[in-house]
Structure 1
Amino acid sequence: MTVTATPSTPRGMDSLPGPRPLPLLGNTLEMKPTSFHLVLEDWARRYGEIYRCHMGPRPVVVLSNPEVIRKVLIDRPATFRRLRNLEKVMEDMNLLGVFPAEGETWRRQRKLLNPGFQATHLETFYPSLSTITQRLRGVMELAAKEAHTVDVLPLIMRYTVDVTCIVSFGLDLNTVEKGSDTLQLQLEQIFAALQHRVVAPFPYWKLLPGTRPVDRALAATRKVMLEIIDSARKAMEREPERAKQPRTLLEAMLVAQDEESDGARLTDDEVIANVVILLLGGEDTTANTITWMLHYLASMPEMQARARQEVDSVLGTETVPTSAHLKRLPYVAGVTQEALRLRSPVPTVLLETNEDTVIDQVAVPAGTMVFCLTRPPCLNNSLFGDAEHFRPERWLPEPPPDTLPHTPRLMMPFGAGSRICPGRSLGLLECALVASTVLRHFELEVVDPNAPVREVNTFTVQPDGVRLRFRQRAST
Structure 2
Amino acid sequence: MITLVLLGCLLLVLYRYLKQCHSVFEKLGIPGPKPILLFGNVAEFKSKFALDVFKDWSKTYGKVFGFYEGLHPSMVISDPRLTQQILVKRFACFSDRPACTPFLNPLDELGIQNANGELWKRQRMVVAKAFHSKCLKEIVSGVTRTSSKLLQRLEASVEDGVENVDIAGLAERYTLDAFANAAFDYDCDSLNNAQEILYRYMLAFNRSGAAENQLAGFARLFPSLTWFLQLFDTEHRQLHALHLKNMKKLIEKEKQKMAQCPENQSKHLLRRLIEGYSVSTDEDNNDVKRHLSDDELLSQAATMVGGGLGPTSSVLSFALHLLATNPDVQERLTDEINKVSQNETFDYDLLSQMEYLDMVIEETSRVFPVIPGVARTCTEDCEVDGIPFRKGMKIRVMAVSMYADETLYPEPDKFIPERFSKQNKEKRPLYSYLPYGHGPRMCVGFKFGLVLIKVALVQILRHYVLTSSSKTQIPLKTALRPFLTPHGPVHIGLVKRNT
TM-score by shorter chain over 0.5: yes
Separation (CA, whole Å) in 1 of partners of 2:240 and 2:190:
20
Give the corresponding residue for 1:3: none
Superposition map of 1:45-56 within 5 A? 45-56=59-70
1:433 matched to 2:455? The reply is yes
Query: 1:351 aligns to what SS in structure 2?
Result: strand
1:163 matched to 2:183? The reply is no
Superposition map of 1:247-258 within 5 A? 247-258=267-278
Tell me the CA shift for residue 208 of structure 1: 8.0
1:43 matched to 2:43? The reply is no
TM-score w.r.t. the length of structure 1 is 0.89
Give the corresponding residue for 2:374: 349
Contact residue 288 and residue 463 of structure 1 kept, 8 A? yes
Separation (CA, whole Å) in 1 of partners of 2:103 and 2:387:
30
Separation (CA, whole Å) in 2 of partners of 1:55 and 1:97:
25
Contact residue 349 and residue 372 of structure 1 kept, 8 A? yes
The AA in structure 2 aligned to 1:389 is: K
Superposition map of 1:309-328 within 5 A? 309-316=335-342, 318-328=343-353
Q: Which residue of 332, 351, 355 maps to 2:357?
A: 332
Separation (CA, whole Å) in 2 of partners of 1:276 and 1:420:
20
Query: 1:371 aligns to what SS in structure 2?
Result: strand
Contact residue 167 and residue 491 of structure 2 kept, 8 A? yes
Tell me the CA shift for residue 251 of structure 1: 1.2
Q: Which residue of 305, 317, 326 maps to 1:279?
A: 305
Give the corresponding residue for 1:358: 383
Q: Which moved more, 1:436-445 or 1:33-42?
A: 33-42
Question: Deviation per CA, 1:359-414, whole angstroms, max 9, x where unpaired?
Answer: 44222221112111012222333323443321112333456xxx994445521111
Q: Which residue of 432, 446, 455 maps to 2:478?
A: 455
Contact residue 315 and residue 364 of structure 2 kept, 8 A? yes
Contact residue 97 and residue 377 of structure 2 kept, 8 A? yes
Give the corresponding residue for 1:79: 93
Query: 2:412 aligns to what SS in structure 1?
Result: coil
Separation (CA, whole Å) in 1 of partners of 2:47 and 2:292:
34
The AA in structure 2 aligned to 1:226 is: K
Contact residue 41 and residue 70 of structure 2 kept, 8 A? yes
Q: Which residue of 120, 129, 136 maps to 1:115?
A: 129
Tell me the CA shift for residue 172 of structure 1: 2.7
Query: 1:240 aligns to what SS in structure 2?
Result: coil
Query: 1:310 aligns to what SS in structure 2?
Result: helix
Superposition map of 1:67-466 within 5 A? 67-75=81-89, 77-84=91-98, 89-90=103-104, 94-148=108-162, 149-195=164-210, 196-197=215-216, 199-201=220-222, 202-206=224-228, 212-242=234-264, 245-260=265-280, 262-280=288-306, 282-316=308-342, 318-397=343-422, 405-448=427-470, 451-464=474-487, 465-466=489-490
Query: 2:302 aligns to what SS in structure 1?
Result: helix
Where in structure 2 are there 5+ consecutive unaligned residues?
1-24, 282-287
Cα–Cα, structure 1 residues 450 and 96, in superposed 2: closer, same or farther, change >3 Å?
closer
Query: 1:469 aligns to what SS in structure 2?
Result: strand
Residues matched between the structures, number: 459
Q: Which residue of 466, 470, 473 maps to 2:494?
A: 470
Cα–Cα, structure 1 residues 421 and 90, in superposed 2: closer, same or farther, change >3 Å?
same
Q: Which moved more, 1:293-302 or 1:212-221?
A: 212-221
Separation (CA, whole Å) in 1 of partners of 2:375 and 2:106:
19
Separation (CA, whole Å) in 2 of partners of 1:270 and 1:28:
35
Separation (CA, whole Å) in 1 of partners of 2:474 and 2:140:
36
Separation (CA, whole Å) in 2 of partners of 1:16 and 1:57:
16
Tell me the CA shift for residue 146 of structure 1: 1.9
The AA in structure 1 aligned to 2:341 is: L
Separation (CA, whole Å) in 1 of partners of 2:405 and 2:94:
26
Query: 1:462 aligns to what SS in structure 2?
Result: strand
Cα–Cα, structure 1 residues 40 and 395, in superposed 2: closer, same or farther, change >3 Å?
closer
Contact residue 84 and residue 431 of structure 2 kept, 8 A? no
Cα–Cα, structure 1 residues 88 and 268, in superposed 2: closer, same or farther, change >3 Å?
farther
Contact residue 321 and residue 433 of structure 1 kept, 8 A? no
Contact residue 143 and residue 179 of structure 2 kept, 8 A? no
Tell me the CA shift for residue 460 of structure 1: 0.7
Cα–Cα, structure 1 residues 110 and 85, in superposed 2: closer, same or farther, change >3 Å?
closer
Separation (CA, whole Å) in 1 of partners of 2:160 and 2:185:
33
Contact residue 77 and residue 395 of structure 2 kept, 8 A? yes
Separation (CA, whole Å) in 2 of partners of 1:287 and 1:147:
25
TM-score w.r.t. the length of structure 2 is 0.85
Give the corresponding residue for 2:9: none
Contact residue 76 and residue 417 of structure 1 kept, 8 A? no
Separation (CA, whole Å) in 2 of partners of 1:434 and 1:88:
32
Separation (CA, whole Å) in 1 of partners of 2:469 and 2:452:
25
Separation (CA, whole Å) in 1 of partners of 2:68 and 2:115:
25
Separation (CA, whole Å) in 2 of partners of 1:471 and 1:61:
48
Question: Deviation per CA, 1:178-231, whole angstroms, max 9, x where unpaired?
Answer: 335122102322333245546252434447859823222222111111111110
Contact residue 12 and residue 362 of structure 1 kept, 8 A? no
Question: Deviation per CA, 1:88-124, whole angstroms, max 9, x where unpaired?
Answer: 8537554421111111000111111122100101111
Tell me the CA shift for residue 450 of structure 1: 5.6
Q: Which moved more, 1:203-212 or 1:289-298?
A: 203-212
Aligned-CA RMSD value:
2.6
Contact residue 81 and residue 431 of structure 2 kept, 8 A? no
Contact residue 90 and residue 96 of structure 1 kept, 8 A? no
Larger radius of gyration: 2
Where in structure 1 are there 5+ consecutive unaligned residues?
1-10
